[in-house]
C-alpha cells in the first residue's frame, strides 16, 4: 500500500508559479509542492544535456518528498527533458510515478483560437530550437502555420524584476516586431514560457489590436483536472489537505521577495538540496 503525497510543480525559477496559481484555483483540495531551481536558472539557453540532467535531478527530489505526480511547469524543461524522462527514466527507475509537461495540453487546444491559421509562439531559445511547438501543434491542427520567435532577454528581465520598467519596452517591442515580420496574418500569440505572463501588459501594447494572446496557466489546470479524472489510480495517491509548500534551490529570502509577484500571495519558502 503506497502513501499519498503532494502533487509536484516544477520550474527553473519563478515562472511555474503562474501555472501553480491557476492549478490551485481549479483544484484547491490537493497538496502541492513547488520547486524553483533558481540556483541554476535560466534554463532557456542551456544545452539539451544540461536541461535534461537538471530536470531529472529535480524530478528525483520530488519523488524523495513522496510525490507520485510531477508537473514540469516549464516549457524549456518540457521541451528538452520530458520525453526522455517519460520514455527512458521512469520505466526503469519509477514505473509507478508520473511526470507531465505543459506543451501537450497547450498544443491540444491552441488551434481552436485562430481564425487565420497563423499562430505566433513566443518562447525561450531552447524551446524554439527544440521545435516542439510546431511539431506538436501540427499533430492536432495540421492546417495551422506556426511562427516561432525566441525572446532570450525576457526571462532575465523578469528574474531581475526589471519587467515593469521602461527599459523592458525595448526588448518587448524588438521580439514582437520580429514575430510580426515573419507573417502579418498572425492572429493568435502563445506565451510559451511560464515567465511571460508577467510581461502581458507590455506584450499587449506592442501586438496589433485584435490579436489573441494566450497564456498557459488555465489550459494546464484544465488538463490536469481532466488527467486526474481519467487516472483514478494516480488521483488516489494525491493528498487532499489543501496544503502548499514552496522550495527553492537558492536564497529563500530572494525567492519570497520575488515569488509574490508571480503567485499573487505571500510565500515562505524552504531551501531544497537537490
Q: Which residues are catalytic?
A: 74, 193
- Count of residues engaged in binding ligand DGL, rule: CB under 6 A: 17
Question: Which of the ranges 73-81, 113-121, 129-137, 217-225 carries the binding residues for ligand DGL, by CB under 6 A?
Answer: 73-81
Nearest distance from residue 22's CB to ligand DGL, in Å? 14
Q: Does 13 bind ligand DGL (CB under 6 A)?
A: yes
Residue number, 41 or 188, with CB nearest to ligand DGL: 41
Comparing C-alpha atoms, which of 252, 180, 199, 216 is closest to residue 107? 216
Partners of 35 in the β-ladder:
10, 247
Torsion from C-alpha of 164, 121, 230, 233, nearest 10 degrees: -70
Residue number, 194 or 249, with CB nearest to ligand DGL: 194
Residue number, 45 or 211, with CB nearest to ligand DGL: 45
Q: Does 55 bind ligand DGL (CB under 6 A)?
A: no
Among 148, 194, 223, 252, binds ligand DGL (CB under 6 A): 194
H helix or E strand, kind and range, residue 175: helix 166-182
Distances, alpha carbon 182 to alpha carbons 1, 12, 118, 193, in Å? 55, 29, 10, 20
Q: Name the residue number minimizing CB distance to ligand DGL.
A: 44
H helix or E strand, kind and range, residue 89: none
What is the per-residue binding string for ligand DGL in 101-140, x denoting contact by CB under 6 A? -----------------------x--x-------------
Whether cis (ω within 30° of 0) applies to the bond prior to 199 is no
Q: How far is 75 from 81, CA to CA, in rounded Å?
A: 10
Residue number, 221 or 238, with CB nearest to ligand DGL: 221
Residue number, 71 or 74, with CB nearest to ligand DGL: 74
| Under 8 Å between Cβ of 198 and 21 | no
Q: Does 18 bind ligand DGL (CB under 6 A)?
A: no
Residues in the chain: 274
Give the 3-state secondary structure percentages of the chain, helix then strand then coil, rounded to 5.
50, 15, 35
Residues of this chain that interact with ligand DGL (CB under 6 A) are 11-13, 15, 41-44, 74-76, 124, 127, 155, 193-195
Amino acid at each position: 500500500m503506497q502513501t499519498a503525497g503532494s502533487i509536484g510543480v516544477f520550474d527553473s525559477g519563478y515562472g511555474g508559479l503562474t501555472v501553480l496559481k491557476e492549478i490551485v484555483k481549479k483544484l484547491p483540495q490537493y497538496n502541492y509542492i513547488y520547486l524553483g531551481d533558481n540556483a541554476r536558472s535560466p534554463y532557456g539557453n542551456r544545452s539539451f544535456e544540461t536541461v535534461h540532467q537538471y530536470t531529472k535531478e529535480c524530478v528525483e527530489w520530488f519523488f524523495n518528498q513522496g510525490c507520485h505526480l510531477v508537473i514540469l511547469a516549464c516549457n524549456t524543461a518540457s521541451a528538452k527533458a520530458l520525453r526522455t524522462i517519460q520514455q527512458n527514466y521512469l520505466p526503469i527507475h519509477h514505473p509507478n510515478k508520473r511526470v507531465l509537461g505543459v506543451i501537450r495540453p497547450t498544443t491540444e487546444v491552441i488551434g481552436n483560437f485562430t481564425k487565420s491559421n497563423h499562430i505566433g509562439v513566443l518562447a525561450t531559445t531552447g524551446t524554439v530550437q527544440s521545435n516542439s511547438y510546431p511539431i506538436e501543434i501540427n499533430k492536432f491542427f495540421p492546417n495551422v502555420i506556426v511562427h516561432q520567435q525566441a525572446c532570450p532577454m525576457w526571462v532575465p528581465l523578469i528574474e531581475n524584476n526589471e519587467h515593469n520598467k521602461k527599459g523592458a519596452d525595448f526588448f518587448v517591442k524588438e521580439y514582437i516586431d520580429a514575430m510580426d515580420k515573419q507573417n502579418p496574418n498572425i492572429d493568435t500569440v502563445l506565451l510559451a514560457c511560464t515567465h511571460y505572463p508577467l510581461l502581458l501588459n507590455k506584450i499587449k501594447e506592442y501586438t496589433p489590436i485584435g490579436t489573441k494572446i494566450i497564456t498557459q496557466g488555465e489550459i494546464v489546470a484544465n488538463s490536469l483536472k481532466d488527467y486526474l479524472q481519467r487516472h483514478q489510480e494516480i488521483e488516489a495517491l494525491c493528498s487532499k489537505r489543501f496544503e502548499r509548500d514552496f522550495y527553492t534551490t537558492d536564497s529563500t529570502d530572494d525567492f519570497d521577495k520575488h515569488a509574490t509577484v508571480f503567485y499573487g500571495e505571500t510565500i515562505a519558502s524552504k531551501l531544497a538540496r537537490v
